[in-house]
Every structure is written in structure tokens, then in C-alpha cells.
Chain A
Amino acid sequence: MEFFEHKLSNGLQIVAERNPHVHSVAVGFYVRAGARDETPEESGVSHFLEHMAFKGTQRHSADDVNRVFDEVGAKYNASTSEETTLFYGAILPEYLPTTLDLLADIIFPSLRDDDFNMEKKVILEEIGMYDDQPGFLVYERAMQAHFKGHPLGQSILGSVDSITALTSAQMRDYHARRYVGGNIICAAAGNFDWPSLKGLVEDLCGHRPSGGGLRSTTIARPTGGLDLLVRPASSQQHLMALCPGPAAAAPQRFAAELLSVIAGDDTGSRMFWELVDPGYVESADLGFHDFDGDGSFLTYLSCNPEDVEDNLERVQGILARLNSGDFTEAELTQAKNKTLSRIVLRSERPMGRLGALGSNWMYRQDYRSVEADLADYQRVTLADLKSLVQQYPLQLTTLASIGPRDSLPTP
């Protein structure tokens, strides 16, 4: 493995990890543009813009975009989160120039009115689709309730009202603000030649506008509480609870990840043994999500509506014991074994490495090899976990729920 980096004069950065032993290469443009960067009037514009990238540019028609990706056999897509819009493709090495040319072009789309109005219908369908999936919707509502008043509480999809009202002029304005050199990282992982990759990106992106850079962040001060959406036709009761955790750049993130595996991994965790294994719930897990300048632990449960109180009590018991520092060395070792094995498996494929490479650079301006990450997980001790739960006790600070229940106890 060999790491390369380069910064263009407009601020756009290239980071690349070369592995000559793989057959393909994955490349992605990470843009520091997500729901948290939107004004209330623009709610949903980052995600809508991600769709518009596939509707054509000055050099490529909409049909061209999908056709060329398919012609080179790319595995490609795009995604939008609270903080990042990502456009990526995995291809055979000989198609890297064509794929880079296309990716670099579509992130500066034409945004024609006809396409904008047609794609608006697709976005409204996507909102409708997620509205019928309580497991997804409960995440959105929990984030909105927990981070109320903070940029991280802003919806990724936007609402039917905000999308209906959005204009292409607003989208152009947002694009001009966010899609600038300092907000864009081009990451590549796999089998490539560095001098030609660097030259290509310089040629394709060197003329793009400069500006942007790290966003200023504040830590949220969640007030907590219950957000209940009554859906009488829902079969299960879905619950998502959030509490504060370390931020993406915090050194405790390794301990936080291992804590989440001990507490709520899908097998062998505290929540597995006390809730899933006995059949008390359909699913129960606890995850760690880190953001720019902030972080959260998320607890998810779905169960029979009449069992909610009993299950919440079980969860609170688990969290209370963990908060008191009741961990064992065996649990920590098991969490490390699982996590290290997952990292190694994921890293065997260029797409797996691309994710780690891009987010390390986006959040920490740091290159981390697989070995460096493995070593940092190995170093975590029981004392680290204890100090983590003292600083960030696991709680059901904000609870969102969807299902037939018309009342629930406030956490």
C-alpha cells in the first residue's frame, strides 16, 4: 500500500491509496455539503442536487451520464448524509480516465428547469417510500428531535412542502456556495498509476471555483424528550433513542466504537443476550455515529407494541450497568476480535478502502492505514471504556417512536 496526496490551487484535495494486488479501482468525490449546510428554505436541497448530478451537464446529456457509467461496467452511485454528498464508482483500471471525467463533470450539473421539475417528482416519491418504512422514519425523527435547533437536526430528504416549494434558482445558489474547491476531496483506492491520476484530476478540476474549507461547528445541547408518531396500522412499535457521544475527530472514537459493539452489536452483545436472544424484541441494537464536531450513540428497538415498557426497562438496566463501569476483559477482547476482523474483510475490496480513506480525510485531514486503525483499536483498555462512559453516559436522552401506541412513558 502506498499513499499519495495533492492539493490543487483551488483547494480541491486528492488522496489516494494504491494497492497493486487488486483488480479494480474505486474513486469518489466527497463534497462537504449536506443537510446541515442548508437554510430552512432550502431543506432537502443537498440530496435533490445529488440526484440532479445524473441529469446532465454541458458536456454530457442525462442519457449520456448513465450510459457511459454502464458502458464501462461501473458500480456507481451517490449518497447524501447530514454532512457529505458522495459520488463514486468502482471500475477496472483501464476505465479510470473515463469514469473520473464523468464524475468530475456531473458534480457541476446544468440544473435545467425541465429536469429539475421531473426529478422533483422522483424526490417526492422517495419521501413517500421512506414514509412507509417506520424503521427509517424513526431515525429521521429521532435526529430532528435530538438536534432540534442545531444544524444536525435538519432533514436529509426535506419535506413534501420544502421540496415542492424549492426552485432551481435556490439550488444553483446552494451549489455555487458549497461545490467549491476547498469543500471537495477526490479519493481513490486500488490499482492505479499516481502520476496519471493526479494529472487527470488537475486537468478536470483545476478550473473549478475555489473557496470553502472546514465548516465551523458547535456542540448540540439536546434537551431530550419524547417524539411519538401514532400509526395505528403499524404492526410493531419502533423506537430510536439518542444521547451524546464523541465527535468524529475525538480520540475516544475507537473506544466509542468498541463500547457500541459490547452494548449493542447484532450478536453476542448485552442487548443481544438480554433482548434479542430471549425473543423479547424483533431487533435491538446500539450504534455509534460520529459527526463533524459532535457525536451520538443511537439505540434502536422494534417489538410488539404491548411490550415496550418492559423492553425499555431492560435497555435502561443494560445502560445503567455499563455506565457504572461493569465491563469485562473478555467482552472487550471479543469486541476487538469482531471489529478487527470486519475492518480486514472490508479493506480487501477497493470500495471498502475508499470509504475509510475519504472519511478520514474529510473529518480528520489524516491518512490512516489499515494497520494504524487496527493498532488503535488494540490499544483500547477497560479504563478507556470507563472514562468514556463517565464523560458520555449511555442514556435514552431523546426518544422517538412510531407505531400503534398512543402514549409512551417519557424517558
Chain B
Amino acid sequence: MPPVAGLCTHTYPNGLTLLVESMPDVRSAAFSLLVPAGSAFDAPASRGAAAVLTDWMLRGAGPLDSRELTTALDNLGLSRSEGAATVHISFSGATLAEKLPEALALYADMLQRPHLPEDEFEPSRVGVEQSLRGLEDEPRQKVMQELKARCYPTPWGLPNEGSLDSITTLTADAVRAHAARCVRPNGAILAIAGYVDAQELIDLVGRLFGDWQTKPDPVIESGPPGPQIDHLPHESTQTQIGVAYHSVPYNHPEYYAAWAAVNVLSGGMSARLFTEVREKRGLCYSVYATTNTLKDQARVLCYAGTTTERAQETLDVLIGELVRLKDGIAPEELARCQARAKSSLIMQQESSTSRASSIARDWYHLGRVTTLAEIRAEIDRLTVPIILEHVHRHPAQDFVVVTMGTSPLEVRRGVL
């Protein structure tokens, strides 16, 4: 019998929360497993520990050695990814629904019974070091990472992989200590969406993860952010520009107004940044703004990449558009944001992977899951005055600007 569409939440005595969204029209099942052991919990002397740990945990668990474990995951046809983010280390995957229970059993071993074998530490560490080196050849990603590091207090914007310096000196003991201190069920979220039955999963996850022992929540010490205006010399054809300013987080009552404001700037190809910077002036190929939200603080992050001679004009036009938003928004601009949101929400119902990650994110930020109908109502409720009031209360100002290229740019007086 096909499962009944709907959402179910269950929190186990050890603090792990299971979220299940049953989708009778798909044949797949997807999961998103968030464990509160991300890079923000790295000890200051061991930056990169969470990233190395995520890879190391895959190198053998329960009865399986490294090769057997990867092979078992592959044989389930699991399309998977894993990585350390700021707050969580995350494991996600999707496969045919009938293979999900076997996959969950393997992840239960990884989290509770990882081998963390001594001889596999160095390959894990070197793998993270290699990705840090690779990032040096990806200027578009690099500038946004540098921007985050400068606009949030430490450790909230620091690169999840640490730095080439920290990763070189990282030891297996430091990473084991990170695992012992941070990998825990209290605060962990397992979200599952697809052709699944909620009650069966509540029982299964209880058997697989019920004995996982709670630990005290580690304390994070926060420090000041980096310089507000910065330039990184880089030998390249284009200059990369990153601009950030304050916004409100996902759990804030004004979040949807903030979302709409950013969408007026960058929500589609008719949005302002694309129109003014690219279509009217031909200044760049890629320009965008996006909201980056932590639990209690958020920033709007903007990007543009352009040839060096036109970089100053690009920065000026970009910041000009951010500031101009407070002067007014046309009703048609809002209507387009609402139309795009409506279609995205409906299309989400076709993807078990999108639903699993959305409900996990909701639980982390809000402590509950918003239904698609609730989000739809929030978006329909928006008016131009509501958005403008938000923009006036949280104007685009106090910019953090990071550039990367052959020469620095001038950030005009009056915009800081």
C-alpha cells in the first residue's frame, strides 16, 4: 500500500530528531543527516578538524573496513555527499526507497562505531589539504569564502576546511578529540523524504540510533571578524568582487520580507542586478546576491566578476543598486518574486532530495517544519510597503568589500 502523504516528527530520548515526509508519487527516498559537529566547533588550534573527521568517518565503521563500507554504500546505488559546514557535519543521499533501511544502518555505524583507523588519517587530512589547494584555482568560490570570513565574527565565517597552515599541522588525536567532544545525538537531525512509511522509520531509526549516547553541548568562543575592506592580490584576467551587508536570519519575523528584497535584486534574469550590471552595461557575465543565514545572524552576500579595467564601475553600479532598493519597489517586481516562489514550492514536491534538505533546515532554524502551504501564505501576504519597511529598518550599508585581482578598487566614501 503506498504511504499517505504527510509529515511526521519524532524526537528520541537521546535528543535525535527524526523528520519524515511521505511522498506517494515518487519511488525514491532521500535523507539529510545533520550532526552538530561542524567547523565552528573546531578547537582554534585544530581548524579543519570537522572536515577531516567527515572523510575519516567513511573509512570503516561497525563490521566493515574502509573499502567494504564505501562498496556497500555504492552497491545500494546511493547518490551521496558529505561534508563539514559551519554548524553541522552533514551526510545526505538518495536512492530507490527500498534500499533506504540498509543505507541508514551503515550511517548508524559511521556515527556510533567509526573505526577512525590511524593509517587512514593521513589520506583524509591530505584530501582536505588538496581541496584547499584546488580552491586557490577557483577564484569565484575563493572570493566568497574570503568574504564570509570577513563579515561574520569568528568562527562563523571561517572556511570549513581550515587553512593550509592549520591543516598541515592537524593531528589524528586532535580530530579524535573533536569527534569525542562533538559527535552526538542531542541536536542531531535526520530528515527523510520520499516513498516511505513514517511509523516504520520511527521504529527503524529508534533501533539504529536509540543507543547513541548524549554529550554536553560544546561551547564556541567567538572573536571579531576580519577587516571590512580588503584586497587579495591575484594574477588573473578578471577581478572578483564580494560585497556583504547585514540581514535577518531565517527564524526572524521579517525573514520573508528580507527574502523578497534580495529577490528583487537577484531573483531571476529580470531582477535588478542582472538587468543593470549585465544587460544594460555588459559589465560582467555573473552577478548575484543571496542570503546567507546562520541561526541568529545573517548576511546578504553579493558577487560580481569582471575584467580589471571595468571592475571599479562594476563595484560602483553594484553598490548603487543595493542602496537604491530603499527608494522604491514596483508591484510587478514583487509579483514576479511571488510567481517564482510559487512555482519553486510546487516543484519541490517532485524532489525527495529537496524536501529532505528543506525540512532538516526548517527544524534546525525554527524547531518545527513549515509546510509548503504555510510558506505560500507567507509569500502571498507580502506587499511592497512591508518589504520597504524592512529595507528601511535593515538598510544595505556598512558594507564588507573583498576584491581579488591584479589591483585594488576604491570603495566610495559614503557607502560605508
- Residues on A lying within 8 angstroms of B by beta carbon are 21-24, 54, 62-63, 66-67, 69-76, 90-92, 95, 118-122, 124-126, 128-129, 131-135, 233-236, 238, 267-268, 272-273, 276-279, 281-283, 302-304, 333-334, 337-338, 340-342, 344-345, 348-350
In the complex, the 4 A-B pairs of residues with the closest C-beta atoms, listed nearest first: A341-B77, A73-B343, A121-B282, A279-B126
Contact partners of B71 in chain A: CB under 8 A:
268, 334
- Closest residue to A93 on the B side, CB-wise? B346
Contact B77 A342 (CB under 8 A): yes
Contact partners of A63 in chain B: CB under 8 A:
270, 275
Given contacts A92-B342, A118-B282, A125-B285, 19 further A-B contacts (CB under 8 A): A22-B25, A54-B269, A63-B275, A71-B336, A90-B347, A122-B285, A125-B238, A129-B286, A133-B138, A279-B124, A279-B126, A279-B129, A282-B133, A338-B79, A341-B78, A341-B99, A348-B26, A348-B351, A349-B350
- Closest residue to B405 on the A side, CB-wise? A132
Contact partners of B136 in chain A: CB under 8 A:
234-236
B233 to chain A, nearest CB (A): 10
Contact partners of B351 in chain A: CB under 8 A:
348-349
Contact partners of B130 in chain A: CB under 8 A:
236, 279, 281-283, 303-304
A-B contact pairs, 21 of them (CB 8 A): A66-B275, A70-B267, A70-B269, A75-B344, A118-B282, A120-B282, A126-B285, A128-B306, A128-B307, A129-B305, A131-B237, A131-B238, A133-B140, A236-B136, A236-B137, A278-B123, A282-B133, A340-B77, A341-B96, A342-B79, A349-B347
Contact A337 B76 (CB under 8 A): yes
Contact A24 B285 (CB under 8 A): no
Q: Does B349 contact A (CB under 8 A)?
A: yes
Contact B339 A341 (CB under 8 A): no
B97 to chain A, nearest CB (A): 10
Complexed CA–CA distance, A54 and B340 (Å)? 19
B145 to chain A, nearest CB (A): 14
Contact partners of A342 in chain B: CB under 8 A:
77, 79
Q: Does B279 contact A (CB under 8 A)?
A: yes
Complexed CA–CA distance, A304 and B341 (Å)? 44
- Residues on B lying within 8 angstroms of A by beta carbon are 25-28, 66-67, 70-71, 73-80, 94-96, 99, 122-127, 129-131, 133-134, 136-140, 234-238, 267-271, 274-275, 278-286, 305-307, 332, 335-336, 339-344, 346-347, 349-353
Known: A70-B270, A73-B339. A337 touches B350 (CB 8 A): no
Contact A23 B349 (CB under 8 A): yes
Complexed CA–CA distance, A349 and B25 (Å)? 11
Contact A268 B70 (CB under 8 A): yes
Contact B270 A67 (CB under 8 A): yes
Contact partners of B94 in chain A: CB under 8 A:
345
Contact partners of A126 in chain B: CB under 8 A:
285
| Residue with the greatest number of chain B CB neighbours at <10 A, chosen from A234, A278, A337 | A337
Contact A337 B77 (CB under 8 A): yes
